[in-house]
Structure formats: C-alpha cells, structure tokens
Chain A
Amino acid sequence: MRFEGTRNFVATEDLKVAVNAAVALERPLLIKGEPGTGKTVLAQEIAEALGRDLIAWHIKSTTKAQQGLYEYDAVARLRDSQLGDARVHDISNYIIKGKLWEAFEADTAPVLLIDEIDKADIEFPNDLLLELDRMEFHVYETSQTIRARQRPIIVITSNNEKELPDAFLRRCFFHYIKFPDRETMQRIVDVHYPGISHMLVHEALTSFFTLRDLPGLKKRPSTSEFLDWLKLLLAEEIGPEILRETNAAKLIPPLHGALLKTEQDVHLFERVAFLARRG
C-alpha cells in the first residue's frame, strides 16, 4: 500500500517517495523543516492513509529514552508497602509501559511518531539506537524481553535545535520539507477550505509571500499562520478587493496579527512599506 497523501494533507512527490521508502524498508523517517510546515500532522496522515493506529510520543527537554520503553514507579510501590497493599509483592504492578512498548505490542504495526526529538538531551537518540534497530528491549525488573510483533512505521520530527548523532542518522531516511511554493500552498488551502474564493486566495497568497520575503523578519510566518489568517479573513468577510488595495498601496495587510507575531516584525514591515511608498 502506497502513501499518496490524504484528502486533508498535500504531499509533494519527494515526500511521498521518502515516506514509501521508509515504510517499505522499515526504517525510521526523519522529517525536518520550518515550524508549521506539517511535520507533526504528517505522521497522523500516514496512519490514516495506511489504516494504522497512531502512537504519538511528544518529546520534552526532560524526556528520557527509558521512558519510551517503560518506567518503574518506585514511589507508588513504596507507598503501597507502607499501606500494606498486597500488590506490592508483584513488581510488574509498578512497571508502566512506554510508547515504544505500546507500539511493539500492537496487533498491526502502528505509526509511531517521535515528535521533536531535538528537544531532548543530546544523548537521547543514541539511547534509542539499539531498541529501534533490533525492535526489542529488556525489562530488568521482571526479566522479560519485549519484542516487536511487527516493526512499527517510525516518523521522527526535528526542529534542528540540536544536531542528531551520525549513527542515528545513518539508520533513517531523511526528508526536509521545503517551504511550499505558491502552487503547493494553493493546494494546501484547497484541502483546508474547499470552495474558498480563488480571487481571495490569489490576493492572500500575494500578501503572504511578499511579507514572508521581507528580509530581517524575526519569525517568518509559515503554513499554519497562513491558514489561520485565511480563516480570520473569511470570518471577518474581508474580500479580495481589500487585499488587492493594500497590496497595491504597499500597506500592511488587514488582521496582520495572525501573520506577524512580534512587535518588531510589524515595525519592520511598516518601515519598509513606508520607504517603498515614498520611493
């Protein structure tokens, strides 16, 4: 079964090739790209397209690799022992399964999303190498070995906060989501707002890309901001002619707060626009 995108998600040809390679050869797929370019939703869409469950593991700076396997809740056990609970004699009562364990146990191989792996400690990816390679791990407390019934489809996202170790990278397929061009963005809009006025989208895209190309922006607006902005435009019933006017007059577009998130960027736009109007 091939991944071809879904009715909610526009997949470019290169993304499809990468996804299908990762699925077919059962290797993890590493996804990078600007914020808001669909890295996280991709895993969900792969799951939907291939009819698999999604198991999402969202990584924080404090997340440890071990937590993906299992945790031993020693505190609960200590408390139970104080209270004289009989459960205390069976250590397996205090073993809490992690996301990897869940994924290994599933009847049909699920999609396992390891989201924002770069948030964790630098050693994190290395600590998972063996488990992802062999698809098994050992539970010392109960002397069990947990083996994957089928290799899950693993999607890993990174925002580039940290470099990932080479040994880890060698095992993955890699895809960098290039920021969508106008045509792709048009298609993304179509899946989110079917039936939206093409005139409006046309003008909105012009405003958006002009704004995005402004050199020196602190935070360039991305796909998700553009979609939010369109929603606002629709809600406020701002028509294409208004956008056309602001574009032509080089004014800041209406409801720009959805696109420019910092004061500084708004000022920058206004300064550049001012100079452009004079010039």
Chain B
Amino acid sequence: MFLGFFLALRQAGVKASLREFLTLQQAMQAGLAGFDAEHFYFLARATLVKDERLLDKFDQVFAAHFKGVLGPAPSGPEAVEVHELPAEWLRALAEKLLTEAEKAEIEALGGFEALMETLRQRLAEQQGRHQGGSKWIGTAGTSPFGAQGYNPEGVRIGQEQSRHRRAVKLWDQRAFKNLAGDAELGTRNLQIALRRLRRFAREGAAQTLDLPGTIGATARNAGYLDLHLVPERHNAVKLLLLLDIGGSMDDHITLCAQLFTAVRSEFKHLKHLYFHNCPYERLFTDARMRPQDAIATHDVLHTYDHNWKLVIVGDAAMSPYELISPGGAVSYWNEESGQTWLGRLLAGFPKSVWLNPVPERHWVYAQTTRLISEQMEGRMFPLTLEGLDGATRTLAR
C-alpha cells in the first residue's frame, strides 16, 4: 500500500492527493509497472508528481524510503496485513492530510463511504488475484506492499530479473536537481516570479460591466438586454511593502523592490516604506531615509487599515539588542524594542508575510532571524519562487 511512502512524500512537501494515490494503485493493478522496480519508480513519479521542481524531492524520498527494501523481505510485524486496515487508515489519513478542497472533492466522488467501498472492492480483487498467483502478491497472503514499504518478493528490486541494472539507482542520480524550486531568484526566474505576482494581483478582482460583451450578447439575443460582467483589470488588493534598506542586503532588496514595482500597475494600491534592520516608531517614505522622509509608525497604522496586506522584506539578521531591547537601534534612540513594534505592525495588519533573501538553511544561525520567524508564526518565506508562492498564497487566504 506504500502508505508510508505516501506520507513521507507529503511530509517532504510533495503534496500528492489521495486521488493520485488511488490512481497509482489502480495503475499497479493494471500491471503497468510490470516486474520492474525502475518501472514502478517511473509510474509513481508520473502519478504523484505534477511539478518538475518537485521531482528532485520525489527522488530523495523515494531513495530514502526504498533503500532498506533492497535487503531481505520484511517479515513479522513489518509485513502488516493492510487488508484489514483501510477504513481506519483512510479516515485518519483524510483527517490528517486533506485540505478542505480535497475533502470537498471526495464528497463529490460520493463521499468516504463510496470511496472506501471502491477501495474494498479493489482489495478484494487483489485478494482474488492472489489465489491466481498475481505477480504483485507475495507469499503467505501478505500484501505485496506492507505499510512500511514494498516487498521485494512482489517487485524484484535490484535482482537479475530487473531489466535495467545500473550501478546507481535512477532515483539516486538526482537528475532533476537543477529544476528544484529553491534556487534563489535570478534573472531567469524573475520572469516567472513576475507572472506569479501578476496572477496574485488579478486573483479575486472585482467584477465590472463588460460593455462590448454586453452589446455583442444583446445583438445576438435579438435586441434583448444580456448583461455581461468581467473581472476588473486592477485588483483591489492593497499592499504595503516595508523594505529593509542599507547594509548587506541591498542587492536583494532592490531586486525585490523592482519586482513589486514592475507589477505596480496591476495593483490598485501599492505603497513602499523603508526601514533599517528593524522597524521601530519611525518608517521612511524614501530609501535615503533622511529625517524629512520619516513617518511615524503609529500614523502608518492609522492611515492604512487592516485590509492592507503587509509584506516585509529583509534579512532579519541584526544584533539581538537591536530587536529585543529599547534603545537598541543603530541609528537613533528607540523608546520601545523592535519586537514591540513588529508586534504592533502584525496586530495592525493581520495579513502579513516576511520575505527573507537569505537562503532558508542559514536562518537558524542568526538568533534574530529565529526570533522574528517565531514572531511571524510561520509566515517568513525565502525569496525564491517557492517562497513567493507561499507568501502570496498566505496573503490571499
């Protein structure tokens, strides 16, 4: 049943759905993977991964999960009788893993009962074939695929029968590594990033009267009025952008600012403000941050209501006191700590994200990054395509 594999994939961020999982089983039943471990790998890949950026992750999970299986067949408690479990695990699985949309989809398929009935039938078929000695069924009435992974007696992995023996397993070659989405934003990705932001801008746009459409439809309708609406070109989304300027992050921040400026025409409201290292009681309307550019953070909180979405861009790395103690700011005396001010901003703008140009794997090394990331409650995203996706999705929710 590869349940473990499925769960591991989901955990690693390859969000295969139950539907796809069932498709894979269906494909196995249809004998599409034959006797060959490599074919099974191809089949699972074609069924469960729909984004080339996730192929590398898939390979890693596959390698990790099926590594031990190359040894002797699992026996004892390892070789779980999956046949008795479906009702429980399916429900548990659904509760744990499915999004509301997926749950709705299952309802549309006839609900869990129907789904489980199908599953039961499939398992029965499998059992039936077992008597006939199907190649997928191992010995002693065990399912070929224990909950822990797969049984080499069902699929002859790495044995002479395998048609394509290789020194390095395909999934260990990590051929899709350079397609992974966690590469930093470069010029190549900029284009795509722009598109994502545009799409974000257009989502949920309001409807307006489509005059040409209405005239056309009315004419077609022999003169009876037929109103047509179209989504408005500009989105009502209001974005407040806070940029950390000055210091090592300048290049990245500039890049990010350019990104948002490029899509500015798509947003009806987009406002830039600047800060250095950490936002305190003053923010700046100009990147030069001269005294005359200052604007009180309180005023910002009152000018832009909670319908504005807040995007903070910065590396979140500074000396700890800059964040946690009053008077810690580098450029002037702050009465209250950066943490306090950040808290105010987050309270004022319930829809907020932090974009961090530093690669995610380095975040743990800076104490303040950890603190801010905690304060953001999981809404700090790396400045990568994936991060941008996550951020816009969070903001749109």
- Could you tell me which A residues sit within 8 Å of B by CB distance? 13-14, 17-18, 20-21, 24-25, 27, 30, 32, 72, 74, 78, 122, 160-164, 166-167, 169-170, 172-176, 178
A176 cross-chain contacts in B, Cβ below 8 A: 52, 55, 176, 179
Contact between chains at B46 and A174 (CB < 8 Å): yes
B204 to chain A, nearest CB (A): 13
Contact between chains at B17 and A170 (CB < 8 Å): yes
* Alpha-carbon gap, A32 to B55, bound state (A): 13
* Alpha-carbon gap, A27 to B22, bound state (A): 13
Closest chain B residue to A172 by CB distance? B50
Contacts A17-B32, A27-B23: A174 and B50 contacting too (C-beta < 8 A)? Answer: yes
* Alpha-carbon gap, A24 to B23, bound state (A): 11
Contact between chains at B19 and A25 (CB < 8 Å): no
A76 to chain B, nearest CB (A): 12
Contacts A17-B32, A170-B17: A24 and B27 contacting too (C-beta < 8 A)? Answer: yes
A174 cross-chain contacts in B, Cβ below 8 A: 46, 49-51
Contact between chains at A13 and B38 (CB < 8 Å): yes
B191 to chain A, nearest CB (A): 9
Contact between chains at A13 and B176 (CB < 8 Å): no
Interface residues as binary, B8-25 with A (CB distance below 8 Å gives 1, 0 otherwise): 000000000101100100
Contact between chains at B195 and A162 (CB < 8 Å): yes
Q: Which of B32, B50, B175 contacts A178 (CB 8 A)?
A: B175
B176 cross-chain contacts in A, Cβ below 8 A: 176, 178
Additional 6 contacts, C-beta under 8 A, given A20-B32, A161-B195, A167-B101: A17-B42, A122-B202, A170-B50, A173-B46, A174-B46, A174-B51
Contact between chains at B45 and A169 (CB < 8 Å): no
Q: What are 23 contact pairs spanning A and B, CB under 8 A?
A: A13-B38, A13-B164, A14-B46, A17-B39, A17-B43, A18-B42, A18-B43, A20-B32, A24-B32, A25-B23, A25-B27, A74-B219, A122-B199, A161-B195, A162-B195, A167-B105, A169-B50, A169-B51, A170-B20, A173-B47, A174-B46, A174-B49, A176-B179
Within 8 A of A (CB), among B173-191: 175-176, 179
Closest chain A residue to B27 by CB distance? A21
Contact between chains at A25 and B30 (CB < 8 Å): yes
Q: Does B288 contact A (CB under 8 A)?
A: no
Contact between chains at A13 and B42 (CB < 8 Å): yes
Contact between chains at A21 and B47 (CB < 8 Å): yes
Closest chain B residue to A17 by CB distance? B42
Closest chain A residue to B170 by CB distance? A14
Interface residues as binary, B112-156 with A (CB distance below 8 Å gives 1, 0 otherwise): 000000000000000000000000000000000000000000000
Q: Which DSSP category, helix, strand, loop or mixed, fits chain B's interface? A: helix
B328 to chain A, nearest CB (A): 42
Number of residues on chain B facing chain A (CB within 8 A): 34
Contact between chains at A14 and B45 (CB < 8 Å): yes
Contact between chains at B50 and A21 (CB < 8 Å): no
Q: Does B268 contact A (CB under 8 A)?
A: no
A173 cross-chain contacts in B, Cβ below 8 A: 46-47
* Alpha-carbon gap, A78 to B216, bound state (A): 12
* Alpha-carbon gap, A20 to B220, bound state (A): 45
A166 cross-chain contacts in B, Cβ below 8 A: 50
Closest chain A residue to B32 by CB distance? A21
* Alpha-carbon gap, A176 to B47, bound state (A): 12
* Alpha-carbon gap, A259 to B93, bound state (A): 51
10 nearest CB pairs, A to B: A169-B50, A17-B42, A18-B46, A176-B52, A14-B42, A74-B220, A173-B46, A174-B50, A21-B32, A21-B27
Which of A25, A32, A169, A176 neighbours the largest number of chain B CB atoms within 10 Å of its CB? A176
B56 to chain A, nearest CB (A): 11
Closest chain B residue to A174 by CB distance? B50
* Alpha-carbon gap, A27 to B23, bound state (A): 10
A235 to chain B, nearest CB (A): 34
* Alpha-carbon gap, A173 to B49, bound state (A): 8
A122 cross-chain contacts in B, Cβ below 8 A: 199, 202
Within 8 A of A (CB), among B29-45: 30, 32-33, 38-39, 42-43, 45
A78 cross-chain contacts in B, Cβ below 8 A: 219
Contact between chains at A25 and B50 (CB < 8 Å): no
Q: Does B26 contact A (CB under 8 A)?
A: yes
Q: Which of B30, B45, B47, B202 contacts A24 (CB 8 A)?
A: B30
Interface residues as binary, B41-84 with A (CB distance below 8 Å gives 1, 0 otherwise): 01101110111100100000000000000000000000000000
* Alpha-carbon gap, A163 to B33, bound state (A): 29
Closest chain A residue to B199 by CB distance? A122
B17 cross-chain contacts in A, Cβ below 8 A: 170
* Alpha-carbon gap, A81 to B55, bound state (A): 57
Closest chain A residue to B48 by CB distance? A174
Closest chain B residue to A18 by CB distance? B46
Closest chain B residue to A181 by CB distance? B175
Which of B30, B46, B49, B101 neighbours the largest number of chain A CB atoms within 10 Å of its CB? B46
B185 to chain A, nearest CB (A): 16
* Alpha-carbon gap, A74 to B164, bound state (A): 59
B213 to chain A, nearest CB (A): 13
Contact between chains at A25 and B46 (CB < 8 Å): no
Closest chain B residue to A176 by CB distance? B52
* Alpha-carbon gap, A21 to B45, bound state (A): 11
A14 cross-chain contacts in B, Cβ below 8 A: 42, 45-46
B166 to chain A, nearest CB (A): 11
